[in-house]
Amino acid sequence: MSKDFYKQFILPYAGIIVKICRAYTDSEEDFQDYYQETCLQLWKSRNNFKGNSKWSTWVYRISLNVSLSLLRKDKKINKNSNELPEISGDLHSEENPFNSESLKLLYSAIKKLSEADRAIILLYLEENSYREIAEITGLSSNNIGVKITRIKKKLKELLDGKIY
C-alpha cells in the first residue's frame, strides 16, 4: 500500500472505519485487527471502485463487509472452541474506548442489535441518505425508513433512562 493512497484515500475516512469497527468488536485487539483488515481490503479493492458513488460510500461498504465477515469468522472460531463470550446485560460492563459516557452507552446498546441492524443504524447516524443506506446494505430504500424507526425504538428501550 502506498503512502499516498493511505493519506489520500484512507486517512480522511479513517473516522468511518473506526466507528464501524468499534461497533463490531469488544476488545482493542479485535478492533485493531478489524481496522487493519479494512485498510487492506480498501487497498486491494481500489480498482473495483468505478466512481459511480462517493468514495465514502465505498469505504462504508468495505468496512461493513470486512467487519461482518470477520465477526462471522470469530463466531465460528468461538463456537468450535466452545469459548463463547459471556453476554452481559449491563451496558456499563463492556470494554469501550470512548471518553463520553453517553457515547459509551450508545455503543454498548448498538452492539446488542443484530449485525444487520447495527449496520443500518450506523449508516443512519452517519447521516447517510436512505438511498445511500440502501445502496451500501443492498436493502430496498422503501424499507430503510421503517427499519430505522424500529431500530431507534429498540435502542431507546435499551437505553431507557440511562442517558440524559
Which x/- pattern, by CB under 8 A, does the window 13-32 give for another protein? -xx--xx---------xxxx
From the CB of 52, what's the least distance to another protein, in Å?
26
Which among 105, 133, 140, 131 is positioned nearest to 119, based on CA atoms?
133
Is 55 one of the binding residues for another protein (CB under 8 A)? no
Residue whose C-alpha cell is 451496558: 91
Whether 141 and 127 have beta carbons less than 8 Å apart is answered as no
Of 103, 112, 115, 116, which lies in the binding site for another protein, with binding defined by CB under 8 A?
Answer: 103
HSE-CB for 135 with a 13 A CA cutoff:
14
The total of other beta-carbon atoms located within 10 Å of residue 129's CB is 12
Q: Tell me which residues touch another protein (CB under 8 A).
A: 1-3, 5-6, 10-11, 14-15, 18-19, 29-33, 35-37, 39-40, 43, 77, 97-100, 102-103, 106, 125, 152, 155-156, 159, 161, 163-164
